[in-house]
Amino acid sequence: MKLFAAPVSPFVRKVVLAAHELGMSDQAEVVVGDYNDKGSDLFKCSPIGKIPAMALADGTNLCDSQLIVAYLDSQSDKAALIPTGSARWEALASEALADGLMDAGVDVMREVRRPEGTISADVEQKFRDRIVGILDRFEQEASAYGDEFHIGRIALLCSLDYLSFRFAEMEWQKGRPNLVAWHEKFAGRASAVATHPESWKI
Ligand SMILES: N[C@@H](CCC(=O)N[C@@H](CS)C(=O)NCC(=O)O)C(=O)O
């Protein structure tokens, strides 16, 4: 299988970190996905043109991080990252919320990178406010988090590290002791260290 990726993308990191947890990190060929070139191999795999995307050997194309993680999870004989039973919906809800954090961060980056004079302060602020709202929700919930490291927690870790990497000045840690404590507990995990935005290279 081939994974279309790019360094720093929090969605890509979620997939790669999940592959590490599942003992499958050496099973995918990781290549750079060029989302600015409609003629690139990425677009042959996924006309959405976003990374991550994964091309399977049987010709199936998977074009979203949630879908790719679900596929990897189904292929591994290790402990599942997507729980079954009642824990399932909390895990998936947490993943969706963390993906919202990633999306909002990517949206801010897209806005501030627009040509001078076309950047909208209102649009930028809207996405920055969204980041704050999602962080506050996680802060409320984090004190109840246990030791499990399912897909909801993996996505949360990737989204927080992405914020630290891109928006250090935002200081997501400020006023959020539960989230800081939770992050400290998992940031040193082998899969997290191996895929950290400052260390992972493709
Ligand atoms: N919902 C998608 C989001 C992926 C996404 O937004 N990827 C960004 C990079 S972090 C991207 O490919 N952007 C290129 C573009 O929008 O042209 C997923 O979970 O995989």
Q: Can you say whether residue 196 is alpha, beta or left, with left for phi > 0 and alpha for psi between -120 and 50 degrees?
A: beta
Q: If you take atom 1 of ligand 1, which residue's CA is the nearest one?
A: 64
34 CB within 6 A, ligand 1: no
Cα(52) to centroid(ligand 1), Å: 7
Cα(103) to centroid(ligand 1), Å: 8
- CATH code of domain 2-75: 3.40.30.10
Cα(147) to centroid(ligand 1), Å: 29
- CATH code of domain 87-189: 1.20.1050.10
pLDDT of residue 202: 67
Global pTM reads 0.97
88 CB within 6 A, ligand 1: no
99 CB within 6 A, ligand 1: yes
Q: Where are the domains of the chain?
A: 2-75, 87-189
65 CB within 6 A, ligand 1: yes
pLDDT of residue 78: 78
46 CB within 6 A, ligand 1: no
Q: What is the pLDDT along the chain (202 residues), one digit of tens a residue?
A: 999 999 899 999 999 999 999 999 999 999 999 999 999 999 999 999 999 999 999 999 999 999 999 999 999 987 699 999 989 999 999 999 999 999 999 999 999 999 999 999 999 999 999 999 999 999 999 999 999 999 999 999 999 999 999 999 999 999 999 999 999 999 999 999 999 988 877 6
Cα(8) to centroid(ligand 1), Å: 12
- CA distances to 98, 105, 111, 128, 176 from 125, rounded to whole Å, are 19, 11, 10, 5, 21
Q: How far out from the chain centre does Cα 84 lie?
A: 21
